Amino acid sequence: MDQPGTPPAAPPRTPAVTGGALAALVHGLAGDTRLVDEVVAAARTQSPEAARLHRQESRHHVAALIKAGCRAFLRTGEPGDDDFTEAARFGAEGAALGVPVAALLSGAHAGRSRILEIAIGRGRELGLADDVLLQGLLRLDRYGNALARHVLEGHRAAERQLNIDRRAARIRLLRRLLLGEENDEDPARFGLSAVAHYHCVVSDAADPARVRELEQAFTRCGGVLAPVGGRLSGVTPRIPGFGEKPGSLVVTTPPVPLEKATEAHRLAQTALDAARAHGTTGVCGVVDLAGQTALAGQPLLAGFLRDGLLTALDPADDFHQDLAGTAIAYLDHGQRLDRTAESLHLHPNTVRYRLRRLRELTGFAETGAQLTVLETMRWWWALWAWHRPPA
């Protein structure tokens, strides 16, 4: 019985209600794509060196780390080493791409702080008691500390594997040749000549084992390969032969003198991003990617074309997606109905019907009327910008 003059005790919160609300909070964090963007932005702002990593790969890692952490939180007991596989991989890939471990940890701490801020706000919106919210945040914080430790361990293990001391000199040299930075690394130390011509190389490889394999392959050809600007890049007198596709994308330029390496490297990077958008893998030359590279350099114009020519199409309409995909295949196959139908495993009449419906909606060319090269490029570019999945 309450003593006179004292307020009545608050009814105890049942574990089921508390646990359900806390679980709802964690589930909401695990599936929130906006949270991923917030964390990536915080990490990249806090750590400019970590921001050298490609944004899409950083986003992939952050999403995986958040999901792994939420899964571990919802289970009973403390997380085990298996819960930190993605953290160790993140650290290893940072080392493979030349990002210092301090930069990775700085970004990780900034991301963790942002998650905690968001979790506090949402927990209060759900009506969680302060003591319950505090217990949950402390557990999330312990997970964050363990995550940072595994990032560190993954980075150190990859450094040992990659022979980081010799590699640091290669990075300095390539930053001088490809980014125009001022330093005293001598190209002759690595067998490069001022009068010779070299292919510029850029790859999207990030797995430490694959990075090491590519570095060694190009070294055997007399080349120098190392992470520059968040991408494996370099110069080489010749391209090594690969018995099979190297398991990643490798873009090369024709040979250029070293004083042209900065421009060639910039072009190779643009070509790499364009090829990735098309799902290309293996070894590709920028000459083979000329069309994709030129179009990738004008994203604003691509948006104007998409919005100007295809405004009648709804991205949420599956049939409209089929129409655009069929039209892209039609243009890719020389505006031939039979080849388009074969590539899509459709009857030619189905292809003809879809193209007719697209023409009714957008004014696309009449079936059988051959578009000129420039008209083909204009429609293909608009359709690709509309149809491709968002990054």
Q: Is the pTM of this model over 0.95?
A: no
pLDDT at 54: 67
Tens digit of each residue's pLDDT (9 = 90 or more) over 309-356: 999 999 889 999 999 999 999 999 999 999 999 999 999 999 999 999
**Is the residue at 102 inside a domain?**
yes
**Is the residue at 2 inside a domain?**
no
Q: What's 327's domain CATH number? A: 1.10.10.2840
Q: What's 99's domain CATH number? A: 1.10.490
- In angstroms, rounded to a whole number, what is the distance separating the alpha carbons of residues 105 and 55? 17
Same domain? 23 vs 149: yes
Residue owning tokens 């952490």: 69
Q: Domain boundary at 253, 271, 296, which?
A: 296
Amino acid occupying residue 360: E
Same domain? 142 vs 212: no
pLDDT above 70 as % of the chain = 88
Structure tokens belonging to residue 49:
């060196």
Q: What's 271's domain CATH number? A: 3.30.70
Lowest mean pLDDT among 17-21, 160-164, 270-274: 17-21
Nearest to 22 by CA among 145, 168, 126: 126
Same domain? 360 vs 236: no
In the predicted model, is pLDDT for residue 279 greater than 90?
Answer: no
Tens digit of each residue's pLDDT (9 = 90 or more) over 235-244: 999 998 876 5
Same domain? 80 vs 56: yes
Amino acid occupying residue 98: G
In the predicted model, is pLDDT for residue 371 greater than 60?
Answer: yes
**Is the residue at 112 inside a domain?**
yes
In the predicted model, is pLDDT for residue 34 greater than 70?
Answer: yes
Using DSSP's 3-state secondary structure scheme, residue 206 falls into coil
Same domain? 29 vs 144: yes
Nearest to 310 by CA among 390, 391, 379: 379
Instruction: Count the domains in the chain.
Output: 3
Same domain? 21 vs 158: yes
Structure tokens belonging to residue 375:
């008209």
Strand 197-203, strand 256-257: pairing? antiparallel
Tens digit of each residue's pLDDT (9 = 90 or more) over 89-140: 888 877 777 777 787 788 778 887 888 888 888 888 878 787 877 877 787 7
| Position 15 confidence tier, pLDDT thresholds 50, 70, 90 | very low
**Is the residue at 190 inside a domain?**
no
Q: Domain boundary at 296, 327, 358, which?
A: 296
- In angstroms, rounded to a whole number, what is the distance separating the alpha carbons of residues 124 and 126? 5
Structure tokens belonging to residue 142:
């312990």
Enclosing domain of residue 331: 299-387
| Position 13 confidence tier, pLDDT thresholds 50, 70, 90 | very low
Same domain? 362 vs 253: no
In the predicted model, is pLDDT for residue 262 greater than 60?
Answer: yes
Same domain? 61 vs 84: yes
Same domain? 20 vs 154: yes
Q: Domain boundary at 296, 318, 347, which?
A: 296
Same domain? 43 vs 121: yes
Same domain? 292 vs 209: yes
